[in-house]
Amino acid sequence: MYNIADVVRLTGGKLIGDFQGTISGFSPLNEATQGSISFYGNNKYLKDFEETKASVVLVDAETVVPPSYQGSTIVVDNVYLTVSKILDMLNPGLDWDEGIAESAMIADSATIGKSASVGHLTIVNKRSTIGSGTQVGDQVYIGIDCEIGKNCILYPGVRILDRSKIGDNVIIHANTVVGADGFGFAPDAEGNLKKVAQVGKVIIEDNVEIGANCAIDRGSLKDTIIRQGVKLDNLIQVAHNVEIGSHTVIAAQTGIAGSTTIGDQCMIGGQVGIVGHLNIAPKTSIQAQSGMIKSVKEENTQWYGYPAIPYKNYLRSYAQFKNLDDLSKRVRELEQKLDKKK
């Protein structure tokens, strides 16, 4: 429970209304009850706003509060960013055991930082380091010569393979594999596929979050690099030698083939496929289920379709495509009329 004054102070917003009680929790508009706080940031949820029982709702300065809502509001500059701040305040954090579990296996040459924790049945191999304040869950595997920074969270089942480097404040969710061999094979004279050694590393910079069940392959000769602030959803494949620019966000089931470079602050939707050896300019937006088969040179452009084309071009083309059946019928009718006149 938090006093409303604490919430207002945290948000830097302005309280409108007479609510002076405590906040019991955060809820969506349609599930909120007395004592809870909610938010309104999209016109699609106007009906929920009209009917909500939330005591306090976060809004921006442009919001027109419906007359039916009888609670209080907090006016803020950025609703969604403020939601994040409040959830951080209300979230009690992980309740993992401190220190190193008895069942953990730590190599003599490994280094575990001050106040770091290591869970049950976790393995930390020789010469690897874990920074102070980092929390490593149960059944995590950390290979040889790995570097894990400060204040990271590695959820249960994560695999960090040899020579991988992870910065500070990185979160990696359950069952993700960092540093598996890239998909590299060369055919010999008889057509047999010979494995090409993958001798690069994976480097993950500060403040990155990686979802569950992702696969981030080590480089073949150069390194696979995920720059600072990148956010990856679940079930994403990052192939060898890929570089993802800072503060790029990528949704689930996207696959990025080898040696592609993605610029800073890109937004990539779910189930996008990106072929290898491309360069994607900064601030590129790619719609879900698109297929990128060529590089993007101009910054701040939008792409859609397979193969992907500029977003507005795709919408115009699709408008024509969905009418092809009617157009085909009209053409046949015109042909029949012409035949009768012959």
The question of whether 247 is a catalytic residue gets the answer: no
| Phi, psi values for residue 58, rounded to 5° | -75, 135
Query: Which positions ≥6 away from 14 have C-beta within 8 Å?
Result: 8, 74, 75
Residues 80, 19, 8, 133: what is their CA dihedral angle, to the nearest 10 degrees?
Answer: -80
Q: Please give the sequence-ordered ranges of beta strands (E in DSSP) within 211-292, or none if there are none.
A: 215-217, 224-226, 231-232, 237-238, 243-244, 249-250, 255-256, 261-262, 267-268, 273-274, 279-280, 285-286, 291-292
Whole-number Å distance between alpha carbons of 301 and 266: 10
138 neighbors 120 (Cβ within 8 angstroms): yes
Tokens of 16: 């409108």
Q: Point out the catalytic residue in the list 173, 240, 247, 277.
A: 240
Amino acid at 217: D
- Burial string for 301-325 (b: 16+ CB within 10 Å, else e) reads eebbbeebeebeebeeeeeeeeeee
Q: List, as own/partner pairs, every contact residues 137-142 make where C-beta atoms lie below 8 angstroms and the sequence separation is at least 24, other chains included.
A: 137/96, 137/174, 138/101
Would you please indicate which residues are annotated as catalytic (active-site) residues? 240
